[in-house]
Amino acid sequence: MQTTTYDTTPEENPRAILVSLVTDEVKRSGIDPVYSLDELVALAETASVQVLTTLTQNKEKKDTKWFIGKGKVQELKVIADELGANTAIFDQELSGAQVRNLEAELDLKIIDRTQLILDIFAQRAKTREGIIQVELAQLSYLLPRLSGQGGNLSRLGGGIGARGPGETKLETDRRHIRGRIDELKRQIGEVEKHRTMQRQRRKKSGTVQVALVGYTNAGKSTLLRELTDADVYVQNQLFATLDPTSRMLELPGGREIVLTDTVGFIQNLPHNLIAAFRATLEEVNEADLVLHVVDASSDMLSDQMKVVDRILEELGAGGKPQIQLYNKKDLCTPEQLELLPEDEQNLRISAYDKQDLDKLLNRLQEELTGGTVSYRIPAARGDLAAQLYKIGEVISQEFDESDILYEVRLHTGEAEKYAHLLEDYKL
Ligand SMILES: Nc1nc2c(ncn2[C@@H]2O[C@H](COP(=O)(O)OP(=O)(O)OP(=O)(O)O)[C@@H](O)[C@H]2O)c(=O)[nH]1
Ligand SMILES: [Mg+2]
């Protein structure tokens, strides 16, 4: 797939050198720079970039003008000439001035990690909501980076207005972008309203929500598809899913819940992107239970889990009941498998293994079912009996004079929503 945001003609696919600068700050951040660069390669390939080689520099601090050291810039120039590169992609975020300086000196297209991720999102966005969110993130990234030449605007594919009388092009561009950002925010406000309404409706109906979250490529969409036959996009690539998809799922006891697939997370997920996707990510906040899907075969398993936990915290969903699903166990070595916990909160599974899916469904059934409670309800109160069927599974009923004695296995979620109505009839 050809990206739309590179200034390359279709004949000239991006041929890139990937560059990482390991500063003291990067070391302190706890992100493994080698892994981060590997991930950048995967991201670039996802965006149809041909990766020629990688280049790393260790340096105390970044260079204000060039980002990497001046000597390294020259080295990059020689390598780019030798390999016929037309693009350099940096693993850390660059300032607008650094991009311009490097572009002028190297005659290469200069892109950073954030921009690459934004590009991939732009390629993937299919729904109106996704498209608005990505454009907002792109413009928020671009605005502080606009140069005097206004050259960066071409990356947006035009459409942004003409020069006003007596104004510099830069100011006009900025004004138009701000206007567009306001408009997109307004549209997102509408999306948010719509989603809130949808959620309220679901809440009213008392249906339990379960969200699949996790690092990109962990297997969330595969699980949704295997569990519900949903027609969702599954790909061995990063950020295959952008828009949340929800499906009904029937648990072994016959109860139906809603299962939602969400956008994958990645370390250094651009802040603009999280902000823009907040409306979508709110789905996670509404969930009664979070299923954290992990690629158990990844060498970076624990780092990936930390990233997901951190983003969940940021979204305010850190305290939600959570079950870890160690997925892709079929790809794990025996040593890897041995390290994985397996108990109530941690399941080892393969999304393609029917038995594992049954194990997961049974676990969900347990997790979403509270204890059993007995009620004595007057036989005339059909309205109350109807409530009982909402809060759980009625496992027995028995007439006792003018009352009926019920035994109910509570559904967590619904039980909390309706139990107060029946409080007085509890035995
Ligand atoms: N071998 C194996 N492959 C799996 C398993 N689960 C998922 N996959 C593969 O992993 C890749 C990613 O799966 P997706 O379901 O698209 O992953 P995702 O978490 O939805 O990814 P994003 O949407 O990018 O965040 C696909 O190639 C799947 O076929 C598993 O249990 N075993
Ligand atoms: Mg997916």
Domains of the chain listed by start with CATH number: 15-121 (3.40.50.11060), 125-189 (no CATH), 207-366 (3.40.50.300), 369-425 (3.30.70.240)
Residue 223 Cα to ligand 1 midpoint, Å, equals 8
pLDDT of residue 12: 65
pLDDT of 278 > 90? The answer is no
Residue 238 CA: nearest ligand 1 atom is: 24
Residue 262 Cβ contacting ligand 1 at under 6 Å:
no
pLDDT of 10 > 60? The answer is no
Top-confidence residue, 397 or 52: 52
99 assigned to a ligand binding site: no
**Complex ipTM above 0.90?**
yes
pLDDT of 236 > 50? The answer is yes
- Best residue among 117, 120, 216, 222 to mutate for probing ligand 1's pocket (most ligand atoms within 8 Å of CB) is 222
37 assigned to a ligand binding site: no
Question: Can you tell me the distance from the alpha carbon of 224 to that of 218, in angstroms, rounded to the nearest whole number?
Answer: 12
Residue 411 Cβ contacting ligand 1 at under 6 Å:
no
Question: Can you tell me the distance from the alpha carbon of 120 to that of 3, in angstroms, rounded to the nearest whole number?
Answer: 8
Residue 217 Cβ contacting ligand 1 at under 6 Å:
yes
pLDDT of residue 127: 83
Residue whose C-alpha is closest to residue 395's, from 411, 412, 384, 383: 411
Residue 222 Cα to ligand 1 midpoint, Å, equals 6
Please say whether the beta carbons of 426 and 374 come within 8 A.
yes
> Strands 15-22, 50-58: parallel, antiparallel or unpaired by DSSP?
parallel
351 assigned to a ligand binding site: yes
Residue 58 forms beta bridges with which residues? 22
pLDDT of 413 > 70? The answer is no
- Ligand closest to CA 237: 1
Question: Can you tell me the distance from the alpha carbon of 232 to that of 242, in angstroms, rounded to the nearest whole number?
Answer: 11
Q: pLDDT band for 8, please (50, 70, 90 cuts).
A: very low
Residue 234 CA: nearest ligand 1 atom is: 16
Residue 200 Cβ contacting ligand 1 at under 6 Å:
no
Residue 266 Cα to ligand 1 midpoint, Å, equals 15
Residue 77 Cα to ligand 1 midpoint, Å, equals 38
**Element of type H or E holding 338:** helix 334-339
Mean pLDDT throughout 44-66?
95
Please say whether the beta carbons of 158 and 106 come within 8 A.
no
Residue 331 CA: nearest ligand 1 atom is: 1
Question: Of 141-150, 191-200, 202-211, 319-328, where does mean pLDDT reach its minimum?
Answer: 141-150
> If you take atom 2 of ligand 1, which residue's CA is the nearest one?
328
Top-confidence residue, 86 or 173: 86
pTM of the complete model beyond 0.90: no
Question: Of 48-62, 284-298, 358-372, 385-399, where does mean pLDDT reach its minimum?
Answer: 385-399
- Best residue among 217, 225, 325, 328 to mutate for probing ligand 1's pocket (most ligand atoms within 8 Å of CB) is 217
Highest mean pLDDT among 99-108, 122-131, 138-147, 407-416: 99-108
Q: pLDDT band for 159, please (50, 70, 90 cuts).
A: very low
pLDDT of residue 167: 56
Three-class SS state of 405? strand
Mean pLDDT throughout 260-288?
83
Q: pLDDT band for 157, please (50, 70, 90 cuts).
A: very low
User: Which residues touch 382 (CB under 8 Å, ≥6 apart)?
Assistant: none
Residue whose C-alpha is closest to residue 245's, from 258, 226, 224, 261: 261
Mean pLDDT throughout 153-159?
39
* Burial class of residue 382, CB neighbours in 10 A (0-12, 13-18, 19+): exposed
> If you take atom 26 of ligand 1, which residue's CA is the nearest one?
236
Residue 234 Cβ contacting ligand 1 at under 6 Å:
yes
- Ligand closest to CA 351: 1
Mean pLDDT throughout 282-311?
92
Three-class SS state of 217? coil
pLDDT in tens, 185-211: 999 888 888 878 877 777 777 678 899
pLDDT of residue 201: 79
The two three-digit tokens of residue 61, written as one number = 């601090």
Residue 353 Cβ contacting ligand 1 at under 6 Å:
no
Residue 222 Cβ contacting ligand 1 at under 6 Å:
yes
Residue 37 Cα to ligand 2 midpoint, Å, equals 22
pLDDT of residue 315: 87
Residues with CB under 5 A from ligand 2 (ion): 220-221, 240-241
Question: Of 145-159, 297-311, 357-371, 399-413, where does mean pLDDT reach its minimum?
Answer: 145-159
pLDDT of residue 147: 64
Please say whether the beta carbons of 256 and 270 come within 8 A.
no
Question: Can you tell me the distance from the alpha carbon of 195 to that of 201, in angstroms, rounded to the nearest whole number?
Answer: 10
Please say whether the beta carbons of 412 and 367 come within 8 A.
yes
Q: Could you tell me what percent of the chain has a pLDDT over 90? A: 49
Please say whether the beta carbons of 409 and 252 come within 8 A.
no
Mean pLDDT throughout 17-26?
95
CA atoms within 13 A of residue 154's CA, in its CB half-sphere: 7
pLDDT of 334 > 70? The answer is yes
Residue whose C-alpha is closest to residue 173's, from 182, 183, 164: 164
pLDDT of 168 > 80? The answer is no
